[in-house]
Structures are given as structure tokens and as C-alpha cells.
Amino acid sequence: MIQTMQDDLKTTIRGRVNLLAAAVLAVVLLAPGAPSGASGDKIAVVVSSNEAPFTETVAGFNEYLAKQGYTAGYEVIRLDGDPAKAGPAIQRIKAGGVRLVFTVGTVATDAVVKGITDIPIVACMVLRTDTLKKSGNATGVGLEFPLETQVAWMQRFLPDAGTVGIIYSAGENRQKVDAAAAIAKKAGLTFEAEQVKSPQDVPAALNSLAKRVDALWGIPDSILLSPTIAKNVLLFSFRNSIPVIGPSPAWVKAGALYSLDWDYADLGVQCGEMAMKILAGASPASVGVASPRRVQYTLNLATARQMKLDLPDAVVKGARQTF
């Protein structure tokens, strides 16, 4: 289960797509009724995985463009999670006829942004957007919600939590933690942050926070991705009755109280809107990298009961998924 958390964060996915979902992707993108056009007006869709969130995202993108009346040929390239397949895919795209590339997932995005510099790229389902911001021909929608949004949801789920703990590695998340602390202060929250340099530092950091915090925010951090560390964090949570705000739904399944989640179809629509602007003549840089605009969340009711947390009915009913 803890290994699942690591896989979930690294690939930003949730669960395996079944054969029906895979068939839906093929129908949506390649059926006779799908948009088609002349050579030179093609959109290449490079998908990291065939799993359900990727399917939903691509379908949302395609449907939005179709509703706008845009006709184009589609070439769908699936990498099946294998970075080695990206090289041949990039060569096919460079061979000609592609006006825009839509990438879905980190594996596809990293390879395409690195390998293609002269075709506009719209990327989706990537946690880190630094590469997009530095590229002159790429934009897209990242997976991380604005810090203001995350703090607001903390207060909605845990209105009595005055102090929230964070464990982070300085080189990776120092700026984010500092920015979040400033936002939290304005909202009446206090952040207690413990910096760690290696996984071996995490137990001491947890012990330091035990008497000082009402909740623990598990931000995406390479040190916390370790299955062993994730297990330690969740054991700490239950032993001390300190709820964990998880970085992904897999953490919630394993015992975190909640995590913010994504509307994958709307992510596709968001990217479709960007693509239409670029196809109409805007540069990717002028479109700008965006955050998800719709918030969903996953909730662990068993954890809430065990920690005697009285969650508002509206919060429980509004969950995308509960455990």
C-alpha cells in the first residue's frame, strides 16, 4: 500500500484503467466522428499512460476542441510509462504535419519539452511546472493547487487546527514553505516547519512536532516519497492523533485524513482552451502556465472517526471518493 503512494506521486495517477476505459479513449480520439483535417494541421497527443485519469484528461481536451468547431487530424502516441518510447515518438512528431503537441503526464511532458523546441506544446498532469515556465514553446496546467487554495481547504476540514506542521527538504521546497507560511499567517494559521536533509532526519523531526502541531501537511517532497518514510508519517499520525493532509489520494487510502484531488476532464478542457488560443496565433509564453481551477478531494472517514474529528456534513457529502 505504501509503495502505491510512491507510484501515485511519481506518475500522478490513481488506479488502473480497465479495458472499457481504454476502448473509450480509442473511440473518442480515433472514431470517424472525431475531428479530422488536412496534413499540416495535425495535433500530436503524447500520453504517458493508459490509466483512467489520463483517459479522462485526453477526452476532455478532445471534446472541448470539437465543441469549438476546430478540425484537425489526431495522432495519439502512448508511452505506457516507458521513457524509452519517447525518442521514436518525438521523431515521428518532427517528421512533419504537427501544429501542436498535447502531452499528458510527466513522462511524456519531460521528454517532449526536452526534445521539441519549435512546435507549441500544451502539457497536463505534471506536478512540477518549472520546465514549462523556462521553455519558450511550452505551457500547460500543473497539478499543484495554489497555496491560498490549499490553506483555505485546511481551515475548512480542520477549523480548530491552529498550528500545522510541515517536514520538507530545503533544496526542494524551502521557497514553497516560506510562501505558504506567509499565506497561512494572514489566514490565522501558524506553520511549524522542520527541515530535513535525509530520510534519517524524519523521525526526529516528527518527534519535535508532536507536541506543537494540530495537523501535519504532507507536501510533495522527494524525501517523503519513500515508502518507509510515508509509513512512519502515518504511524506517527495515529499514535499522536494528529491528522495528516495527504499529498495524494493514495495517502488518504493508507490513512491520511484527506487530499485535494483533480477533475481530470476539466484539466483537459483547461488545456483545450490554451490550445485554441495558441492555434489562433498566441504564443505559449503569452498563454502562461496555470493551476487546476476545480478542486475535488478524497476523504478517509475511518481516520476522521478514529481521531474524533467532527467533519461538516457538506464536506463529507462533497468528497469525490471516501474510504
Alpha-carbon span 58 to 48, nearest angstrom: 11
Domains defined for the chain, CATH in brackets = 2-143+263-295 (3.40.50.2300), 147-261+296-322 (3.40.50.2300)
pLDDT of 26 reads 38
Lowest mean pLDDT among 6-15, 87-96, 239-248, 261-270: 6-15
Q: How many CB atoms lie within 10 A of CB 112?
A: 24
> Tens digit of pLDDT for each residue in 71-87?
778 889 999 999 999 99
Is pLDDT at 34 greater than 60 in this prediction?
no
Which pLDDT band, with edges at 50, 70 and 90, does 31 fall under? Answer: very low
Alpha-carbon span 135 to 121, nearest angstrom: 10
More confident residue, 271 or 75: 271
Which pLDDT band, with edges at 50, 70 and 90, does 19 fall under? Answer: very low
Alpha-carbon span 132 to 223, nearest angstrom: 24
Lowest mean pLDDT among 11-25, 101-115, 135-149, 155-169: 11-25
3-state secondary structure the chain: CHHHHHHHHHHCCCCCCCHHHHHHHHHHHHCCCCCCCCCCCEEEEEECCCCHHHHHHHHHHHHHHHHCCCCCEEEEEECCCCHHHHHHHHHHHHCCCEEEEEEECHHHHHHHHHHCCCCCEEEEEECCCHHHHHCCCEEEEECCCCHHHHHHHHHHHCCCCCEEEEEEEHHHHHHHHHHHHHHHHHCCCEEEEEEECCHHHHHHHHHHHCCCCCEEECCCCCCCCCHHHHHHHHHHHHHHCCCEECCCHHHHHHCCCEEEEECHHHHHHHHHHHHHHHHCCCCHHHHCCECCCCEEEEECHHHHHHCCCCCCHHHHHCCCEEC
Contact by Cβ (8 Å): 73, 42: yes
pLDDT of 225 reads 75
Alpha-carbon span 42 to 33, nearest angstrom: 16
Mean pLDDT, residues 21-48 taken together: 54
As a whole number, the mean pLDDT across the chain is: 88
Alpha-carbon span 48 to 113, nearest angstrom: 13
More confident residue, 6 or 242: 242
Percent of the chain with pLDDT over 90: 80
Is pLDDT at 245 greater than 50 in this prediction?
yes
pLDDT of 118 reads 95
Which residue in 165, 164, 177, 171 sits closest to 198, CA to CA?
171
pLDDT of 196 reads 94
> Tens digit of pLDDT for each residue in 222-240?
888 788 899 999 999 999 9
Is pLDDT at 248 greater than 70 in this prediction?
yes
Cell numbers given for 105: 503526464
Question: What is the number of residues in the chain?
Answer: 323
Q: Which CA distances in Å does 98 have to 55, 117, 261, 285, 299?
A: 21, 13, 32, 19, 42
Which pLDDT band, with edges at 50, 70 and 90, does 96 fall under? Answer: confident
Percent of the chain with pLDDT over 70: 88
Is pLDDT at 294 greater than 80 in this prediction?
yes
Mean pLDDT, residues 160-177 taken together: 93
